[in-house]
């Protein structure tokens, strides 16, 4: 079965073809970063218009790459939510219109389910069940994942998400958007010790996070004035270290809280899982605390069409029934915990 996946929830247009027998056949991505950069963040209306411009050419491109025609597509998966309403509508319209024309099923995928399952596309995929650390621009959650659609929340952020903490700190420091990669780049030349930011909730005794205090602390330091390029790099390093310290400590706590007998597997997903310091720190923690950590392929950490095609394929393979659509809707706000396991029809 060949599934076309379409992602358009935010500032990346992603299209991919996933085959249940042969794996990922082709993928294409257009990032809108350059377009939004001058505004310091995503401008929703510009995002929607750009998705309109990119989606069909990218679809033609992946079909050519895979060497198949539109008729070779067996089903179409698209991001139904959560995300920017206008941006979601573009992907959903194209996906459903194609599904109607080709008389194929269309399946609306939860964006975060796409992220959560993306590590399963790696060459050494984790088996269920596992604990997941989901760290994206809008979410920071620890989840118990017992199968496709079976997600129990263990911990959540009380305010800003980890990616948001990177983005807001970067903005305060005058770095570009998105903040995560910009902070990580500058941190590479930073020296530890000059600044000390808070590590919120480290000893809260639960698996929740809070990152808004970090942004306030960065704002205070920036207001006082950063003395030269080295000071900026040192602060970038401390921002990254503070965020990663908290993510690692809470992940280790989640692994230690696992009832005896349950496999000690930690899966990390979402845009922030691209951060190499986070990857290194968790790789070091797994040896110290006796668990195994899994990441998506670096190219599949941030938004992409492959994870959407893959999540759709897993649900369809499990027997979930989806009709040829005659109507559709998007779900800009859609809690992950409301998803259910694929129901065979």
* Partner in contact with 82, chosen from Zn ion, ligand KG4, none, beta carbon below 5 to 8 Å by kind: none
Pick the binder of ligand KG4 from 86, 155, 163, 296 (CB under 6 A): 163
Decide: is 113 part of the binding site for Zn ion (CB under 5 A). no
299 exposure class (CB count in 10 Å sphere: 0-12, 13-18, 19+): exposed
Among 8, 27, 118, 136, binds ligand KG4 (CB under 6 A): 136
Residue that the structure tokens 């020296």 belong to: 191
Closest CB to ligand KG4 among 12 and 320? 12
Instruction: State in angstroms the smallest separation of the CB of 31 from Zn ion.
Output: 12
Contact characters 128-147, Zn ion, x per CB under 5 A: --------x-----------
Is residue 81 part of the contact set for ligand KG4 (CB under 6 A)? no
By CB under 6 A, residue 200 contacts ligand KG4: no
C-alpha radius of gyration, the chain, whole number: 20
Print the binding letters for residues 170-199 with ligand KG4: x by CB under 6 A, - otherwise: --------xxxx--x---------------
Please name every residue paired with 143 in a beta bridge, in sequence order, or none if there are none.
132, 153
Q: Which residue is listed with tokens 């706000």?
A: 333
Could you tell which of Zn ion, ligand KG4, none binds residue 163, using a CB distance below 5 to 8 A set by kind? Answer: ligand KG4
Give the separation between CA 51 and CA 31, rounded to whole angstroms: 10
Strands (E), 175-258: none
First to last CA, the chain: 18
Question: Quick check: 7 binds Zn ion (CB under 5 A)?
Answer: no
- Give Cβ neighbours of residue 342 (< 8 Å, ≥ 6 apart): 148, 149, 314, 315, 316, 318, 319, 320
- The binder of ligand KG4 chosen from 138, 176, 198, 332 (CB under 6 A): 138
How many chain residues touch ligand KG4 (CB under 6 A)? Answer: 20
Rounded CA gap, 63 and 72, in Å? Answer: 9
Residues 6 or more apart whose Cβ sits within 8 Å of residue 279: 268, 273, 295
- Considering only residues 9 through 28, tell me which ones interact with ligand KG4, judged by CB under 6 A: 10
* C-beta of 262 vs 283, nearer to ligand KG4: 283
Q: Which of residues 50, 160, 164, 303 is near Zn ion by CB under 5 A?
A: 303
CB 28 within 8 A of CB 14: yes
Q: Specify the DSSP element, H or E, that contains 44.
A: helix 44-66
In the complex, the smallest distance separating the C-beta of residue 4 from ligand KG4, rounded to whole angstroms, is 20
Q: Sheet containing 23-31: which strands, arranged edge to edge?
A: 23-31, 12-19, 2-7, 75-81, 106-110
**Which residues are at the interface with ligand KG4 (CB under 6 A)?**
10, 115, 136-138, 163, 166-167, 178-181, 184, 270-272, 274-275, 302-303
Summarize as ranges the residues that interact with Zn ion (CB under 5 A).
Answer: 136, 303
């Amino acid at each position: 079965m060949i599934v076309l996946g379409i992602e358009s929830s935010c500032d990346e247009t992603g299209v991919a073809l996933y085959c249940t027998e042969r794996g990922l056949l082709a993928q294409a991505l257009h990032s809108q970063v350059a377009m939004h950069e001058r505004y310091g963040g995503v401008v929703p209306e510009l995002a929607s218009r750009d998705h309109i411009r990119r989606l069909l050419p990218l679809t033609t491109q992946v079909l050519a790459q895979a060497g198949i025609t539109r008729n070779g597509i067996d089903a179409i998966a698209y991001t139904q939510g959560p995300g920017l309403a206008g941006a979601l509508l573009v992907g959903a319209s194209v996906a459903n219109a194609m599904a109607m024309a080709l008389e194929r099923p269309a399946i609306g995928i939860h964006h975060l389910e796409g992220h959560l399952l993306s590590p399963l596309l790696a060459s050494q995929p984790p088996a269920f069940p596992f604990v997941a650390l989901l760290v994206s621009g809008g979410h920071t959650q620890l989840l118990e994942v017992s199968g496709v659609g079976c997600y129990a929340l263990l911990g959540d952020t009380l305010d800003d998400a980890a990616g948001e903490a990177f983005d807001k700190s970067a903005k305060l420091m005058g770095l570009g958007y998105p903040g995560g990669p910009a902070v990580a780049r500058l941190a590479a030349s930073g020296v530890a010790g000059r600044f000390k930011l808070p590590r919120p909730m480290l000893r809260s005794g639960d698996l929740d996070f809070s990152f808004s205090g970090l942004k306030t602390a960065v704002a205070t330091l920036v207001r006082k004035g950063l003395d030269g390029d080295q000071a900026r790099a040192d602060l970038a390093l401390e921002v990254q270290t503070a965020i990663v310290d908290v993510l690692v400590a809470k992940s280790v706590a989640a692994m230690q809280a696992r009832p005896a007998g349950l496999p000690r597997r930690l899966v990390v997903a979402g845009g922030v899982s691209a951060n190499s310091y986070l990857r290194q720190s968790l790789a070091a923690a797994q040896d110290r605390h006796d668990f195994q950590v899994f990441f998506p392929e670096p190219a599949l950490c941030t938004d992409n069409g492959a994870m959407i095609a893959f999540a759709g394929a897993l649900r369809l393979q499990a027997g979930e029934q989806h009709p040829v659509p005659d109507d559709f809707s998007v779900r800009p706000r859609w809690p992950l915990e409301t998803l259910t396991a694929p129901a065979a029809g």
